Chain A
Amino acid sequence: MSYTVLVFVKQVPDTQNISGDAMTPEGTVNRAALPAIFNPEDLNALELALQLKDRYGARVVVATMGMPAAAEVLRQALYRGADEAVLVTDRALAGADTLATSYTLSCCAKKLGKFDLILCGRQAIDGDTAQVGPQIAEKLKIPQLCYVEEVRSLEKGKVVVRRAIEGGYEVLESPTPALLTVIDANEPRPMNAKKLMKFKRAKTASEVAKSYANANYTEGAALDEELKKLEKNGLLIREFSAKDIDADPGRIGFPGSPTKVKNVMSVVLTASEAKSVPATDEGISLLIHELISDHTLG
């Protein structure tokens, strides 16, 4: 295992299977009404990491920031072949926008120590901002390679990737450590039956505590023992609080999020009749005049 690859993933509401009550009256996503799934492009990022593991021997560490229930996507990553899983969860992290999220995840990366690559999906299907990956790279002061389709080669200190650009692709070389955001250009491998049968038992400390009726302190010893047992069997999903990753309380969660939702609109796009313009100087001149006269331009 000569390389360490971090994969940041997100549990998202399944916006591809929308039901009637998917939106709250306030126009925000009703998370309770939608099934929570592994963000699709994060699965592509994980697949890329697992391919690197197959090709070069890499330790694949998957991490997410989210509610305690987000442990489920971490387990799914383990079923597919990830080596370790980390959950960053804390009430203080609630309400984070992309700035606070990327700060939190950059703290998590620092806490996890040396790595060669960070892989993220390009964007999540709930917010579609595509900001978190690049912002993490900025905060860690490492190069970012976005829209990656495949890794051509990886060696100590250097990675070569192919990435999509408009109308084609380009091949880029970058020093490592670097951050890659990955697009839907591979077919994520299915979950593995044997890994599932093992890692379905993997739990975070708070999941174990919950099975002990939350704060039943009389069972503290039994709880400790179970945690130790899980850890020994490689079934403990590490859990970090904001404090564990040395995050500045002013830069996380709601206080660290300057984004304000001013208004939510339902925009209905309507197509009108198409008009073709001859590809001549005259045609273009006519088009520009038309656009100026109906105030689309100017």
Chain B
Amino acid sequence: MANFFKDNSDLVFTLNNLDLTEVASLREQNYKFAQEFDNAPTSFEDALDNYNRVLEIVGEICGDRIEPRSRTVDEEGPHFENGKVTYHPLTVQNLKDLEQAGVMGVMLEHRFGGLNFPVSVYTMMTEMVSRADGSLQNIFGLQDIAETISFFGSEEQKQKYLPGFASGEFDGSMDLTEPDFGSDLQSVRLRAWQDEKTGQWYLNGMKRFITNGCAQVHLVLARSEEGTTDGRGLSMFIAEKCPQLVVRRIEHKLGIHGVATCELQYNDVPAQLCGKRRFGLIKYVMSLMNGARVAISGQAVGIAEAAYREARKYASERMQFKKSIDQFPAIYDMLSNMKVKLTAARALLYETTRTVDLRNGYNDLVERGEATADDRAKQKYYNKVAAVLTPMCKALATEMANQVTYDAIQIHGGTGYMKDFNVERFYRDARITNIYEGTTQLQVVAAIGGVIQRDNDVRIKELASLDFQGKLARLRDKVMELHERQLKAVAFVAEKKDQAYHDLMARSLVEMETYIFVGLLLLRDAMKCEERAAIAERWVLDAVPEFEKRFMRVMSGDVTLIDNNRDIIDY
């Protein structure tokens, strides 16, 4: 009897202290849906009660059903024969449980049979599913595809696909990567051509590394404008499973074994244009990927949570030199480091989802033509902040998950290297999170603009001006000292006007920003809950030397690596 929501005090704290008042009210359009739908909430208290209760349902499914099946799913995985992918029977059962719980259309509007929940609550489910079975998240998390159709599809497309997604009848895949183009999506070549007489579009070409590529509904990035070579010649299409869409093989991967990663061949597959031509990559896929980046951050936090718990349990039970090993400084140092990083990543994750929810809410308000000038300003603000927090969050959460799962094996010693324990699986599953949906290196590229432009400063000031007392006030001052130095470092790089130096220092600058921003979030939470003060303090005290190291590097103006990297690499 395990409940992955109720047993996770940090998650419960986060939900109930995140302040989703504005988010829920935007989402429910001032609770007007309650007139029309008998399951729509009538007030914020009602909505929050729904979030808590539904998370409890999902937490129970994750703890009691999905987690016990996860080892077998990892060992046996899906099956591929004669062009057909068959999921493991336990994966099928997992999906059936989630479908019966009615959580396959969490973010979809009431009118399509969805729960109309915010991204924040959906991400909490994502996290719990990943803690139970990292690979299942890759199927459960594809709800972003339905969300993308709901953002950009025509009313007809929404009517056709969204109810099926909400009921669990449809599953989806996002077909972006090609054999020759991964990070460089603007060079995608899969060709879309239109029959001039009927207006029907067809897709031709190859896609690779497609998660759940055996899905019923595919969102496909394709080149619709002949003769173009950049991102502006790409459009987004909806294609359905059909004989012309061939699964050529499924990949043998290091981790996330439960989900099929497919190579797809498109042989004149009929497709519908989704949204406007030429906006495929620059608008729709960017939106889709940003949604997926949040989901992967949730996946990383979930896997790390599972690994941390195993490590903590093992360290408290394993006796060496007549003591449990968690009493040795070397081990409790590792364990507290893991816990602090995990809590930090979760704090940034839900600050990010809340910002994304507010962005979505104000985007929607503007689109419906109901926005005031004030609403428009907020829309602009939240779009800007979401754009920097999303990659910052993915970088932190996924690198953290790698570190935590690595340390979890380390704490287990030789035992952890064996298949008999779960930590080796968590380590394998975590390894993809800082690669797909954009590597950490690309997250830095996405975040650095906002860091240089100081897009987080409004929020940083807001958080710093909270009424901290005593130790928390002193820690806040420490963080704000770092912030002052961050402004210097940013100015130093900007004034240099050297693109190579800017790119080389980008990761340091983004990480320095993360130390500051997350420090304030943890202090805010410590103010609300005294037991969290030690975690916030540890984060800030550890952040100081980490920050200084990067600060020294940025301020050194050292360009030798730009000049002599070949000498080093080629020696």
Seen from chain A, the residues whose Cβ lies within 8 Å of a Cβ on chain B are: 16-17, 187, 189-198, 200, 233
* Stretch of B52-60, B278-286, B365-373 lying at the A interface: B52-60
Q: Is there contact, CB below 8 Å, between A190 and B97?
A: yes
Q: Across the interface, do B38 and A198 meet the contact criterion of CB distance under 8 Å?
A: yes
* B100 at the A interface (CB under 8 A): yes
Docked CA distance A193–B38 (Å): 13
CA distance A17 to B2 in the complex (A): 12
Q: Are B100 and A197 in contact (CB under 8 A)?
A: no
**B82-113 interface bits toward A, Cβ cutoff 8 Å, 1 = contact, 0 = none:** 00000000000000010011110000000001
| Residue in B closest to A80 when the chains form the complex, CB atoms | B100
Complex contacts, A16 vs chain B, CB 8 Å: 1
Residues 111-146 (chain B) with a chain A CB within 8 angstroms: 113, 115
Enumerate chain B interface residues (CB-CB to A < 8 A). Answer: 1, 38-41, 49-50, 53-54, 57, 60-61, 65, 97, 100-103, 113, 115
Smallest beta-carbon distance B496→chain A, Å: 53
A258 to B391, CA, bound (A): 71
How long is the Cα–Cα vector from A195 to B97 in the complex, in angstroms?
15
* Given A195-B102, A197-B41, A233-B38, residue A190 in contact with residue B57 (CB < 8 A): yes
Q: Which of A190, A198, A233 has the most CB of B within 10 A?
A: A190
In the complex, what residues of B have CB within 8 A of residue A17's CB?
1
- CA of A190 to CA of B115, assembled, Å: 16
Residue pair B100, A200 in contact (C-beta under 8 Å) = no
17 other A-B residue contacts (CB within 8 Å) besides A189-B100, A191-B57, A197-B54: A16-B1, A17-B1, A190-B60, A190-B61, A192-B101, A193-B57, A193-B101, A193-B103, A194-B113, A195-B39, A196-B50, A196-B53, A196-B57, A197-B39, A197-B40, A197-B115, A198-B39
List 24 interface pairs A-B (beta carbons < 8 Å), by A numbering.
A16-B1, A17-B1, A190-B57, A190-B60, A190-B65, A191-B101, A193-B101, A193-B102, A193-B103, A194-B39, A194-B113, A194-B115, A195-B39, A195-B102, A196-B50, A196-B53, A196-B54, A196-B57, A197-B41, A197-B50, A197-B53, A197-B115, A200-B53, A233-B38
Minimum C-beta distance from B273 to chain A (A): 32
The listed residue (B1, B41, B65, B102) touching A194 by CB distance below 8 A is: B102
Contact call B100/A192, Cβ cutoff below 8 A = yes
Docked pose: A107 CA to B117 CA in angstroms: 44
Q: Which chain A residue has the least Cβ–Cβ distance from B100?
A: A189
Residues of the A chain whose Cβ atoms lie less than 8 Å from the Cβ of B1: 16-17
User: Closest CB-CB distance, A85 to chain B, in whole Å?
Assistant: 16
Nearest chain A CB to B56 CB, angstrom units: 9
* Distance from B249 Cβ to chain A, minimum over Cβ atoms (Å): 34
Alpha-carbon distance between A16 and B1 when the two chains are bound, in angstroms: 10
> Which chain B residue has the least Cβ–Cβ distance from A198?
B39
In the complex, which residue of chain A has the Cβ closest to the Cβ of B50? A197
Nearest CB on A from B390, distance (A): 26
Nearest chain-B residue to A235 (Cβ)? Answer: B38
Bound CA–CA A191/B101 (angstroms): 6
A233 to B53 CA separation, bound complex (whole angstroms): 22
Q: Tell me, in angstroms, the Cα distance from A189 to B60 when the chains sit together.
A: 12
CB distance from A231 to the nearest CB of B (A): 14
> What's the least CB distance linking B267 to chain A, in Å?
38
Residue of B nearest to A16 (CB): B1
Q: Are B102 and A192 in contact, with the CB atoms below 8 A?
A: yes
Shortest Cβ distance from B96 into A: residue: A189
**Chain A residue nearest in CB terms to B49:** A200
**Complexed CA–CA distance, A218 and B314 (Å):** 62
